[in-house]
Structure 1
Amino acid sequence: MSTAETPDADVIVVGAGPTGLMLAGDLATAGVATTIVERRAEGSNLTRAFGVHARTLEQLDARGLADELVATGSPVRQLQLFDSVHLDLGRLPSRFPYLLITPQSNVERLLRVRAERAGVTFRTGQAVVGVRQDADHAQIELADGSTLRASYVVGADGVHSTVRDAIGQPFPGRSVIKSIMLADVRLDHAPEGVLAVNAVGDCFAFVAPFGDGWFRIFAWDRLNQQPESAPLEFEEVRAVAKRALGTDYGMHDPRWMSRFHSDERQVPQYRVGRVFLAGDAAHVHSPAGGQGMNTGLQDAANLSWKLAAAVRGTAAPALLDSYQAERHPVGRLVLRSSGAIIRMAMVERRPARIARNLIAGTLLKFRPAARKATGVISGIGIDYPAQPGTHKLTGQRAPDVALAGDPARLYEALRSGGFVLVAPGQSLHEAAAPWADRVTVVTPSDSSTPTMLVRPDAYIAWAADEADATQVAAALTASCGAAATSDRLVSHIGGASAGHQQHVDPAARPGADA
C-alpha cells in the first residue's frame, strides 16, 4: 500500500448499526473526517434490541439525545430475571433509574440524524471484502474493486464481521441457545406491565412493545429445537408463549417470523495495528439482561474520543491501547453476567428452580449484592482500572454533578465533546486556560466537590480533594496533551475574556441536539 496517496478520510467505520453510528457521530462532531461504509443499501427492519440501560442513556444525555429517546419509550424500574426474582432499577444513582423499552430502530434513527448533521460521509450498498494496513494508514477493499484509505478503520460490522476476519482475529466461544423464535404480532390485550417475561424450565418467552401497536415475541422451546432454516409456524410461537407466560395475549396477524441462535464469543484483541473492533464484531452474548446494544454503544463512547485525539496528534502513545485494556474486561464481564442469567433461567427441574429462586431472591434482598447486580446490568457500576496511588474516583463513572450557572449539569457540559474540568476555584480555571481548545471548565454548585477532570466518555481521568494550579496543569497535560500555542488559543476563544474558559453552547455546534 503506498503511503503517498491522500487518505479518503481520517477514520473509516464499517457498519451503520448503533455502534458504528455513535462512533462516527462522535468523531465527526470532534472535527474528524469520517466515512461510514455499510453493505446494506437501506436500514435494516430487524430490531432485536429493545432495552436502553441507564449508563447508555447517560452517554446519550452527554450528546443531547437522551430526552428525545426517552419520549419514544416506556421506563421499566423492575427487571424480571425469572419467576419471582426481580432487580430494582429504581434505586440507581442516575438521572435515568430504569430500563427504557424502545426499539433499536429509534436509537439508530437519532444517531443517524446526528451523524448526518455532523458531516459523516455515508457509503451504503457497498460491501467490504478486505482490509490492509501499514505503519501509516489502513485501507479497505470494496466488492466493486475500489478502495478507501484512512488513518484508522473500525469494524462495527456485527457478529459476521468481515473486518474481524480480514485482520485474522479469531472469535472463540460457543452457542448458548439454539432455535430462538422471533415474531412481530398484534395483541388483543397488552401485558399489564411494559414487558412480559417468564421461564418455566422447558421454555421461556418475552414480549416487548414497538410502541406503535406491534409487539416482538421471543420464544424458546427446549423440547423442539429446530435449525434456523426450518420453517416457523405462527401456532408454534403462540403455543410456546402460552406455556411460558400462561397466556398468549390474543396474539394475531404476524407480519414477520424467524429463528436465530445466541452465541457467547469474544475476540482476544480489540485492536490490531490501525484497525479496531467494536460492538458485536468484538463480542456477542445471550440476550439476557438486554446488554448487547448497550455494550456496543459504550465501546463506541470509549473509542471515539481516543481516535479523535490520535488524529489531532494530542494522544499519548498508550491512549489507543487503553481501549483494549478498558473495554475487553467489560465485554468479558457482560458475557459472564448474561450467561449466568440465561443458564439460571433455563434450569429444567422444578426443585432446582425453587432453589434458584430462593437463593437469588435472598441475595438480592441485601443492598450490596443488589447494588452490584444492578450496577453491572445497567452499566452504572462499571468502572475502569486506575493506576495505583491515584485518587479513588479515578476511572469511575462521573456522577451528574450540579453546576453553578449555565450549563446546570455536568452531562450538559459534556455536550461540548471534549474534556470537562470540574473545579471550584478561579485559580484552577486560569490554570486550565491553555487547554481551552480541548477543555471546558465548570464550577460545581457544592464547593466541597473534588476537583475532577472528566473524559469525553463521562469517566473520571483525574481527581483531587484539594488541587492546586500545578496539579491541574499536570493532569491536563497527561490526559489532553501539551497546552495549545497562543495563536491557536486566540483562534479558538475569539472574544472570550482572558483567564476564563469558553462555555460552548451545544446547540450551536453542527451535529449536536440539545
Structure 2
Amino acid sequence: MTDVLVVGAGPTGLAVACGLRLHGISVRVVDSAPGPATSSRANFVHARGSEVLDRLGALGDLPGQSLRAMKITTYLGDKPIMNLRFGDPGMRTAAPPMVISQAKVEAELRRRLAELDCTPEWNAGLVDATADDAGVTAELSDGQVVRAQWLVGCDGTGSATRKLAGVGFPGVKLSERFLLADLHLDWNLDRTGTTGWIHPTGMLGAMPMPDPDGRSDLWRLIAYDPGHDEKPSDQEILDRFHDILPERTDDPDVRILDAVWLSLFSVHRRLADTYRQGRILLAGDAAHTHAPFGGQGMLTGLGDAENLAWKLALVVRGRAGEALMDTYQAERRPLAMEVLRGTSAVTRINVAQSRVGRFLRDRVIAQLFNQPWIQRWATYTTSQLWVSYRKGPLGSRFGRKPRPGDRVDDLKCVRADGMQSRLHAELGGHWAMLLPKDGAEACAATVRHALGTYVVLLRQVDDSFPDEVLLVRPDAHIAWRGRDDAAALLRWLDSALHGGRAKR
C-alpha cells in the first residue's frame, strides 16, 4: 500500500508529490493523459510561485529560460492610456516573476520528482474511489487497483476525484469567450512587456513568450470574442486572429508567420464546497477555478500543494492527528475566495461594454494604474507574498508582526556546521527553528522530539528577532514565536499537531 495516491500530473499534483517525497512519504502520481503536456494556457509564475518551486528544489534554470516582461501598456486606439510596471516587491524573494510556459514548469517539477524516485504514470485516470477509515481503494483506467492511505485529487476543473467524492462545485460559467494563440508574428512591438488594446469589438492582449528555437517573434495572444456559440476549429481561430490583429491594434502591416498553439476558453467561476472528504483531498483547479487574468491559477495551485504536503506528511508519519488536515481548507479556501473575487472583477473591467463601464475603465481606472503607489500595490497583490494564515486555526491575530501565520522573509542564517545560508533554502522538506545567536537548546530539543529529523536548527545572523525563537513551517510561514520557553512551545506543538488549533 502506498502512503498517498496523487491524481493529476499537472503543476499542483507534481508539487504535492515533490513535497511529500521530501518528507519521506511514498507517493504514486497517476494521470489520464497519454503523456506530458507540450503547451498550456498558463504562462506566468509570480514571486510566490518562484519561492515554492525553490523550496521544492524545482526552480532549476526556469529563471534563465523565462522572460522578464514586467510591464503592461494599454492602448485606446493608437494612444497609450496606461503604463503599469511590475517591480521587485522588496520581500527577499527567491526569484522575480517569470514569463514562462506552464509546460516548462511541469517539466522541471517532473525532473525534480524523478530525483526523488517517483515518476508519473500516464494513461491511468481515476475511474472509481472507495474510502474507509483506514484509506482509499482506487480503480484506474488501465485496470490497476491501488490502495493508499490518502488520495489527493489534483485533476483539474473536471476532476473525477471531486465527483467520486461527492463534493459540490457550485458557481457559474460566464458568457465571456476568449481566443488564445501562440503565434510567430512579424511586427514592431516592444518585447519588454505585455501590450493590450481596448477596442469596441473587444480587448486584445499580447505577451512575449520565450522561444526554444531562439526566435524573438513568439507571442501569446488573448482576444475577447463574444457572440459565438459553436466551438471553432483551429483554422477558424487562426482566421479570427487574422481579422482581429490589424483591426484592434490599428496596425495593417502585422503578419502572422505561423501558429504554434491555438485554443479558447470560457470563464468559469467555481469553488468546491469542501477541500476534504474523509481521506480524499482536493487541490488546485479541482478545488477552485476562475478567470486567468492576473496569472493566479497556477500560483494558487502551487500554494495549495505546499500547504497540503507538509501537513499530510506529518499525519502519515504519525507525528500529527487527522485534525491537522482540517487546517488545510481553513487556510487555503479563504484565499481561493479572494482570488475568485479579484479575477472576476478584472474580467468585468476587461470586457465592459456599457457606456459607464467603458468610461470607468478607460478614463478612471487606467489613470489610477499610472500612479506609482497603485503599481506597487499591484505588484504586491498579484505576487501573493501578502498571503497570511494569522486568522486561521494555527495563527494569531495578536502580538508583534510578523505573527504566527505570517510569511517570514528569506532571512540570512547560520547552519549548525557554521556555514551561512538562507532560511527558505533550508526549508525544502523541513521545518526550521531560527534560534538566537546563543542559547535556546531546550526549545531545540523540544521541537526535535515532536517533529523528528525533518527540522533544521539555524542561528540568526542579523538579530531580526533578538532573544526570540521562531519555529518556521516548511511553507515559510511562522508557526510559533516566543522567548526561550520550551514548555510554551511544547503546548503549542501538542495543540496544533494533534488538535489542529493553536492555543491563544
Q: TM-score, structure 2 length as denominator?
A: 0.86
- 1:89 corresponds to which of 86, 104, 118: 86
Cα separation, partners in 2 of 1:143 and 1:172, compared to 1, 3 Å: same
Work out the CA distance in 1 between the residues paired with 2:409 and 2:328.
Answer: 22
Q: Secondary structure at the match of 1:76?
A: coil
Task: Report the alpha carbon displacement of residue 433 of structure 1 after superposing the two structures with TM.
Answer: 2.8
Q: Check whether the contact 1:376–1:382 (CA below 8 A) recurs between aligned residues.
A: no
Work out the CA distance in 2 between the residues paired with 1:79 and 1:233.
Answer: 25
Q: Check whether the contact 1:201–1:347 (CA below 8 A) recurs between aligned residues.
A: no
- 1:54 corresponds to which of 19, 43, 47: 47
Q: Which runs of 5+ in 1 are unaligned?
A: 1-6, 483-514
Cα separation, partners in 2 of 1:195 and 1:60, compared to 1, 3 Å: same
| Aligned residue runs from structure 1 range 366-405, under 5 A | 372-384=377-389, 385=391, 386-389=395-398, 392=401, 393-404=403-414
CA deviation string 1:289-347 (max 9, x = no partner): 01111111111011000110110011244210011101111111111111111111111
- 2:433 corresponds to which of 415, 421, 429: 421
Task: Report the alpha carbon displacement of residue 407 of structure 1 after superposing the two structures with TM.
Answer: 4.2
Alignment correspondent of 2:57: 64
Alignment correspondent of 1:108: 106
Alignment correspondent of 1:221: 225
Task: Report the alpha carbon displacement of residue 401 of structure 1 after superposing the two structures with TM.
Answer: 1.1
Work out the CA distance in 1 between the residues paired with 2:471 and 2:84.
Answer: 32
Cα separation, partners in 2 of 1:246 and 1:433, compared to 1, 3 Å: farther
Alignment correspondent of 2:162: 164
Work out the CA distance in 2 between the residues paired with 1:143 and 1:82.
Answer: 49
Alignment correspondent of 1:439: 455
11-20 vs 117-126, which moves further: 117-126
Work out the CA distance in 2 between the residues paired with 1:448 and 1:186.
Answer: 49
| Aligned residue runs from structure 1 range 204-215, under 5 A | 204-208=203-207, 209-212=209-212, 213=215, 214-215=218-219
CA deviation string 1:215-239 (max 9, x = no partner): 33222223x4342255624231132
Q: Secondary structure at the match of 2:203?
A: strand
Residue 245, structure 1, aligned to residue 249, structure 2 = yes
Q: Check whether the contact 2:129–2:137 (CA below 8 A) recurs between aligned residues.
A: yes
Q: Check whether the contact 1:407–1:413 (CA below 8 A) recurs between aligned residues.
A: no
| Aligned residue runs from structure 1 range 91-490, under 5 A | 91-96=88-93, 98-189=96-187, 191-192=189-190, 193-208=192-207, 209-212=209-212, 213=215, 214-222=218-226, 224-229=227-232, 232-247=236-251, 249-349=254-354, 352-361=357-366, 372-384=377-389, 385=391, 386-389=395-398, 392=401, 393-404=403-414, 406-415=419-428, 417-434=429-446, 435=448, 437-449=453-465, 450-464=468-482, 466-478=483-495
Task: Report the alpha carbon displacement of residue 246 of structure 1 after superposing the two structures with TM.
Answer: 3.4
Q: Secondary structure at the match of 2:412?
A: coil
Q: Secondary structure at the match of 1:234?
A: helix
Write the letter of the residue equivalent to 2:411. V
Alignment correspondent of 2:27: 34
CA deviation string 1:21-58 (max 9, x = no partner): 01111111211000001111211223111100011111
Cα separation, partners in 2 of 1:233 and 1:151, compared to 1, 3 Å: closer
Work out the CA distance in 2 between the residues paired with 1:156 and 1:241.
Answer: 36
Write the letter of the residue equivalent to 2:406. Q
Work out the CA distance in 2 between the residues paired with 1:130 and 1:443.
Answer: 49
Work out the CA distance in 1 between the residues paired with 2:441 and 2:188.
Answer: 54
CA deviation string 1:113-149 (max 9, x = no partner): 1111112253211121111100111121122443111
| Count of aligned pairs | 472
Q: Secondary structure at the match of 1:154?
A: strand
Work out the CA distance in 1 between the residues paired with 2:72 and 2:306.
Answer: 25
Write the letter of the residue equivalent to 1:447. D
Q: Secondary structure at the match of 2:156?
A: coil
158-167 vs 121-130, which moves further: 121-130
Task: Report the alpha carbon displacement of residue 211 of structure 1 after superposing the two structures with TM.
Answer: 2.5
Q: Check whether the contact 1:182–1:216 (CA below 8 A) recurs between aligned residues.
A: yes
CA deviation string 1:180-223 (max 9, x = no partner): 2222321124631243333334312222314333333222223x
Work out the CA distance in 2 between the residues paired with 1:180 and 1:18.
Answer: 23
Q: Check whether the contact 1:423–1:441 (CA below 8 A) recurs between aligned residues.
A: yes
Q: Check whether the contact 2:67–2:99 (CA below 8 A) recurs between aligned residues.
A: yes
Write the letter of the residue equivalent to 1:235. D
Q: Secondary structure at the match of 2:13?
A: helix
Task: Report the alpha carbon displacement of residue 369 of structure 1 after superposing the two structures with TM.
Answer: 5.9
Q: Check whether the contact 1:77–1:98 (CA below 8 A) recurs between aligned residues.
A: no
- 2:15 corresponds to which of 22, 30, 35: 22
Cα separation, partners in 2 of 1:283 and 1:133, compared to 1, 3 Å: same
Work out the CA distance in 2 between the residues paired with 1:81 and 1:101.
Answer: 18
Work out the CA distance in 1 between the residues paired with 2:46 and 2:397.
Answer: 30
Work out the CA distance in 2 between the residues paired with 1:308 and 1:344.
Answer: 42
Q: Secondary structure at the match of 1:71?
A: helix
Cα RMSD, aligned residues only = 2.6
Q: Check whether the contact 2:44–2:101 (CA below 8 A) recurs between aligned residues.
A: yes
Cα separation, partners in 2 of 1:365 and 1:261, compared to 1, 3 Å: closer
Task: Report the alpha carbon displacement of residue 163 of structure 1 after superposing the two structures with TM.
Answer: 0.6
Alignment correspondent of 1:495: none
Q: Secondary structure at the match of 1:432?
A: helix
Task: Report the alpha carbon displacement of residue 252 of structure 1 after superposing the two structures with TM.
Answer: 2.0
228-237 vs 304-313, which moves further: 228-237
Task: Report the alpha carbon displacement of residue 276 of structure 1 after superposing the two structures with TM.
Answer: 0.6
Task: Report the alpha carbon displacement of residue 81 of structure 1 after superposing the two structures with TM.
Answer: 7.6
* Percentage of identical aligned residues: 32
Q: Which runs of 5+ in 2 are unaligned?
A: 500-504
Q: Secondary structure at the match of 1:251?
A: strand
Cα separation, partners in 2 of 1:425 and 1:293, compared to 1, 3 Å: same
308-317 vs 206-215, which moves further: 206-215
Alignment correspondent of 1:503: none
Q: Secondary structure at the match of 2:331?
A: helix
